[in-house]
Chains A and B, each alone.
Chain A
Amino acid sequence: QVQLVESGGGLVKPGGSLRLSCAASGFSISDYYMSWVRQAPGKGLEWVSYISATSSYRNYAVSVKGRFTISRDNAKNSLSLEMNTLTAEDTAIYYCARGGSGTHIDYWGRGIQVTVSS
């Protein structure tokens, strides 16, 4: 069955960096757009970024553009999110998701906590 498992979260100081990873199983990510969605404590869902199947297209929310970089390794069936210059406003649960431009999300990971605090 389809599974998405995030890793790499944790506590980081303001201005710091963190790299999230998402390991996919049960399907080949090379056939799909993949995305990251986040949810701040007690808040709603916010799209962060998505990447096309061949990495040709990458799009970012305004709130993270220039600080976050999405990438994928189709051979390893994995997705990554490099996060730099983190602020308290980036504190959230980050979800890896299958889907992207012009499509809905049909599978979600369980999410990983990222906390930015001194």
Chain B
Amino acid sequence: IQMTQSPSTLSASIGDRVTITCRASENINVWLAWYQQKPGKAPKLLIYKASNLESGVPSRFSGSGSGTEFTLTIGSLQPDDVATYYCQQYVNYWTFGQGTKVEIK
């Protein structure tokens, strides 16, 4: 299963609403996770099963979608959100998207 994220890079202002899209090459139901990776650090789980917020993750992060199209939304972009974000399907082995780098404008 191929996972395609868009955009590859995103530049937005503090307080902006930011949306990242992830498309699967076939139906993965809701078996999708989102991770945040800051430079030099390990990834961190944000969202699992498409829309479930991991404990301790700020509520400005949300996930939606099912089937082949999914979105990660940051409700109000903060400086601490500068990172690369990856989606991952886990219905058939594991596949990650290529990543979306989020920067502050």
**Known A-B contacts A45-B86, A45-B96, A108-B43; A102 and B91 likewise in contact (beta carbons under 8 Å):** yes
A102 contacts B31, C-beta separation under 8 Å: yes
Any chain B CB within 8 A of the CB of A46? yes
Q: With a CB–CB cut-off of 8 A, which chain A residues contact B37? A: 45
Q: With a CB–CB cut-off of 8 A, which chain A residues contact B97? A: 44
Interface set, chain B 40-54, CB cutoff 8 A to A? 41-45, 48-49, 54
Q: A-side binding surface: helix, strand, loop or mixed? A: loop
Any chain B CB within 8 A of the CB of A32? no
Total interface residues on A, CB under 8 Å, equals 22
In the assembled complex, the Cα of A108 lies from the Cα of B44 at a distance in Å of 7
In the assembled complex, the Cα of A59 lies from the Cα of B88 at a distance in Å of 17
Any chain A CB within 8 A of the CB of B64? no
A46 contacts B90, C-beta separation under 8 Å: no
B95 contacts A47, C-beta separation under 8 Å: yes
Q: Which of B42, B49, B86, B93 makes the CB contact (< 8 A) with A111?
A: B42
Q: With a CB–CB cut-off of 8 A, which chain A residues contact B93? A: 47, 59, 61, 101
Q: Which of B33, B41, B98 makes the CB contact (< 8 A) with A44?
A: B98
Q: With a CB–CB cut-off of 8 A, which chain B residues contact A68? A: none
Query: B33 → chain A, closest Cβ, in Å?
Result: 4
Query: B39 → chain A, closest Cβ, in Å?
Result: 11
In the assembled complex, the Cα of A50 lies from the Cα of B88 at a distance in Å of 15
Any chain A CB within 8 A of the CB of B70? no
A106 contacts B42, C-beta separation under 8 Å: no
**Known A-B contacts A44-B98, A44-B99, A47-B96; A104 and B43 likewise in contact (beta carbons under 8 Å):** no
Any chain A CB within 8 A of the CB of B35? yes
In the assembled complex, the Cα of A109 lies from the Cα of B41 at a distance in Å of 10
**Interface residues in chain A, defined as those with a beta carbon under 8 Å from any beta carbon in chain B:** 35, 37, 44-47, 50, 59, 61, 95, 99, 101-111
Interchain residue pairs with CB less than 8 A apart (22): A37-B94, A44-B86, A44-B97, A45-B35, A45-B43, A45-B86, A45-B88, A45-B96, A45-B99, A59-B93, A95-B42, A95-B43, A99-B90, A102-B90, A102-B91, A103-B90, A104-B90, A105-B88, A106-B54, A108-B42, A109-B42, A111-B42
